[in-house]
Chains A and B, each alone.
Chain A
Amino acid sequence: AAGVIQSPRHLIKEKRETATLKCYPIPRHDTVYWYQQGPGQDPQFLISFYEKMQSDKGSIPDRFSAQQFSDYHSELNMSSLELGDSALYFCASSLRSGANVLTFGAGSRLTVL
């Protein structure tokens, strides 16, 4: 069965650079979520989209933005990167009528030097 696909899996950037992460949800899933997980931390909710519209917002820095496209894939754009942005970024998707059962992608590991 198709899963949530994230790319790239690993990304190394310098401070103040920009990074873009991509997420392809499970086919027919209508909701996409982004989570940030620092070392030894729990996943922190950043933002979610339902049917291509932003549906909820968490602790996402103003330097970050995200959108969901017509094909339902989503991108997380991070600018003016800081050392503290180094983390695992997970995308998850769900079907709203499936009542919150989130399936996570394998994650994108961002390292900021």
Chain B
Amino acid sequence: SQTIHQWPATLVQPVGSPLSLECTVEGTSNPNLYWYRQAAGRGLQLLFYSVGIGQISSEVPQNLSASRPQDRQFILSSKKLLLSDSGFYLCAWGTGYGYTFGSGTRLTVV
């Protein structure tokens, strides 16, 4: 079966600390993968998308970066977190019916 895993579910990090969020997909090959951020009470903003290993497109300038070291693995990173990086981060896998989403990571930067 096709599934998408995202972890951790919640994270509290101090300003200036690094970040690594991981997303993996099972049951498919060469998926299109996406990272979205959802600020409180707002819609989803596309941060990065990837159509293959090592291929990353950035949608908005920001303090974050993404990498795709393996076909089914997508990583969101930061070297130094800012307060404004707080939010709900969703990984998504593009399918014929839009997206299948991971369960999300709620990041609070303190």
Co-assembled chains A and B: no
Binding site for A on B (CB under 8 A): none
Binding site for B on A (CB under 8 A): none
